[in-house]
Amino acid sequence: MSTLKLSVGPAPKIITGCNKWHGQTSRFVHWEMHAGDALQVLRQMPDDSYNCAITSPPYYWLRDYGVDGQIGKEETVEEYVNAIVSTMNEVYRVLKPDGVLFLNLGDTYYSGKGESQGIDRKSNKRRFGLRAVDKSGGLGIGIQRKSIIGIPWRVAIKMSANKWVLRCPIIWHREHCLPENVKDRPSRSYEFVFMFVKSRKYYFNRQPLIEKNFDEDVWTIAARPKQANGIDTAPFPDELVQRCLDIGCPKDGSVLDPFAGSGTTMRVALVSGRSATGIELNPDFCEHAVKNLSNL
Ligand SMILES: C[S@@+](CC[C@H](N)C(=O)[O-])C[C@H]1O[C@@H](n2cnc3c(N)ncnc32)[C@H](O)[C@@H]1O
């Protein structure tokens, strides 16, 4: 159990024994943060609870979040896809019937080049050991070395084959993002934000897209610079969350992020007057998020 001592803001209550914090903003908007595995925590939550979920799960073999049980380091693509889909199926259950899910996913290449011989201390592979996507011999999904795996669509297709309705694959064009260190293909500058719903009738407000003259399904939003606070969760930009909220969540709605990281979704939701619930496996990230939320 984490213990938190906070010197600023209204002190959040800590519910002993279940790694959960909760509090409210100065405008009395409620939040709660659960430390733990997303799938396990979601299983404890009641049906039909949230208006909207906005989340960015760990990508496949791109980052080490330093905790046992983290998603993203599975040996096979199938295991990774299943881990995300199982978690999203619990999100389905806890979303209200007219609820909306925005799922941000990025892709990974299969390099198949084997063990690194270099001494680059910054190399992801050194931090990870030998990544599944660098092992020679194929990934078991019939793709060649140097192929992009197609992770977002593999997840999206499996979710739609179950019960989710995929309403829109939104492209997040990551404006001004650093170019990748590649010479034999274009550098990538976009990711997907899949808009999923549960039923044929759901909450959707198109007006903000029209009023602000935004491209409707290509969102050009600058990627967030690396934080100087020692917490590196690969946070998504506030503006991305705000746009999802504007179109997919009632003004007084409730918002869920099962991979909360530093708590961007929760913070932006709370500032906009919506209640927020987060789940995060890394206890340091939880404490960081709780500290921030306590100051709102
Ligand atoms: C891409 S980051 C989310 C960043 C977040 N959107 C933000 O703005 O900070 C993914 C998060 O999922 C967490 N995570 C990994 N495996 C998890 C699991 N099984 N259950 C819950 N959280 C997990 C990681 O620790 C990481 O903080």
Residue 258 predicted with pLDDT over 70: yes
Percent of the chain with pLDDT over 90: 72
| Structure confidence by residue, pLDDT tens digits, 163-206 | 999 999 999 999 988 889 999 999 999 999 999 999 999 999 99
* 140: pLDDT strictly greater than 80: yes
Instruction: Say if 138 falls within a structural domain.
Output: no
Separation between Cα atoms, residue 72 and residue 92, nearest integer Å = 21
| Inter-residue contact 255 to 276 (CB < 8 Å) | yes
Q: Is 97 within a domain?
A: yes
Q: Give the CATH number, domain containing residue 63.
A: 3.40.50.150
Using pLDDT thresholds of 50, 70 and 90, give the confidence band for residue 2. Answer: very low
What per-residue confidence (pLDDT) applies to 12?
A: 66
pLDDT at residue 16 tops 80: no
Task: Compute φ and ψ for 139, nearest 5 degrees.
Answer: -100, 5
d(CA 286, ligand 1 centre) in Å: 10
Pocket test for ligand 1, best of 67, 70, 191 (most atoms within 8 A of CB): 70
Q: Please state whether the predicted TM-score (pTM) of the whole model is above 0.85.
A: yes
Is residue 2 included in any domain, yes or no? no
Question: Rounded to whole angstroms, how far apart are CA atoms 257 and 52?
Answer: 9
Residue 116 lies in a domain: no
* Domain assignment of residue 141, yes or no: no
**Domain region containing 62:** 13-104+152-293
In a domain, 75, yes or no: yes
- At 137, the amino acid letter reads G
Please list every protein residue whose CB sits less than 6 Å from any atom of ligand 1.
37-38, 56-58, 65, 69-71, 233-236, 259, 261-262, 264, 279-282, 285
Of ligand 1's atoms, which has the minimum distance to the CA of residue 257?
6
Q: What are the tokens at 53?
A: 């979920």
Q: Please name the residue whose Cα sits nearest to atom 15 of ligand 1.
A: 70
Domain annotation covers residue 52: yes
pLDDT band at 288 (very low <50, low <70, confident <90, very high): very high
Taking a C-beta distance cutoff of 8 angstroms, is the pair 259, 55 a contact? yes
d(C-alpha 171, C-alpha 169), whole Å: 6
DSSP 279: E
Report how many domains make up the chain: 1
Beta bridge partners of 236: none
CA–CA separation, 55 and 265 (whole Å): 7
Query: Which has the higher per-residue pLDDT, 229 or 75?
Result: 75
